[in-house]
Amino acid sequence: MKSYITAAISMTSVPDLSKNLSQAEELIDLAIRQGAELVTLPENFPFLGEEEEKMSQAEAIATASEKFLKTIAQKYQITILGGGYPVPTTDGKVYNVASLIDPTGLEVVRYEKAHLFDVNIPDGNTYRESKTVMAGTQLPSVYSSKDYGNLGISVCYDVRFPELYRHLSSKGAEVLFVPAAFTAFTGKDHWQVLLQARAIENTCYVIAPAQTGNHYGRRQTHGHAMIVDPWGVILADTGDEPGVAIAEIDPIHLEQVRRQMPSLQHRVFK
């Protein structure tokens, strides 16, 4: 693992596939011009609209998203995380898929979101992700990259389930991805503290691209794409506007934190 620059992108995706992919490429280009070699896109980056619209276009969204990620990775010679897009299943639902693509255009990790957001928010909004999404049944794997370290993937609501991240760290993860479309109501209280907790308890870097702003109807997301270091320090934060959080992933700092705070070695209950 070397030192490298990474980017967590904040987007305001809407119910328009081509518009979202154009927005994504503009922000990716901005990240690369700032030196990023590993770029991450948020959950729902290609489409964020009504569930019926998403389902009617799911095949097209999946095909376009996979082509986009492969093309971008090859064009810019970067590793890119597509933080979440619908992939149709055989039973009429979709998986919420996050995929990591290397600079050759090869998908090196695919993760189907396991924890689905079925929640009644106090602001009056109700979310039933399971109505259209099939929960993944496999724990995410850790991808070992000689350049970028050991990378672990999760998606949004997963961040509330620390056992998933303990699994990743026990498999050697050094960098955790948390692409999200966190609601504005829950995000103001929980987003930052959950990211910091996952970083601190696993002594890992956390890279968290995010959706932000108003998308359609009453759907509003919190934003604040962030990069957090293994001590819990926020290295970069996009605020509540679309943009790019840029920071360095430093293996020497990671080793220093793990040496000073060797909590992963002190676990009693496994």
**3-26 pLDDT per residue, tens:** 999 999 999 999 999 999 999 999
At residue 208, φ and ψ (nearest 5 deg) are -130, 85
Cα separation of the two ends of the chain: 27
pLDDT tens, position by position, 174-212: 999 999 999 999 999 999 999 999 999 999 999 999 999
User: What is the model's pLDDT at position 269?
Assistant: 87
Which of 251, 184, 182, 233 has the alpha carbon at shortest distance from 210? 182
User: What is the model's pLDDT at position 132?
Assistant: 96
User: What is the model's pLDDT at position 44?
Assistant: 97
Whether residue 261 contacts residue 244, with contact meaning beta carbons closer than 8 Å, is answered with no
pLDDT tens, position by position, 225-268: 999 999 999 999 999 999 999 999 999 999 999 999 999 999 99
User: What is the model's pLDDT at position 218?
Assistant: 82
The chain-wide mean pLDDT, for the chain, equals 96
Would the pLDDT of 121 be above 90? no
Q: Which residue has the tokens 């009056």?
A: 124
Would the pLDDT of 108 be above 90? yes
User: What is the model's pLDDT at position 270?
Assistant: 79
Q: Write down the CATH superfamily of domain 4-266.
A: Carbon-nitrogen hydrolase (3.60.110.10)
pTM: 0.96
User: What is the model's pLDDT at position 122?
Assistant: 87
pLDDT tens, position by position, 134-158: 999 999 999 999 999 999 999 999 9
User: What is the model's pLDDT at position 125?
Assistant: 83
The residues annotated as belonging to the active site are 43, 113, 156
Neighbours of 175 (CB within 10 A): 25
DSSP SS3 for 14: coil
How confident is residue 217, by pLDDT bands cut at 50, 70 and 90?
confident
Residue extents of the structural domains in the chain: 4-266
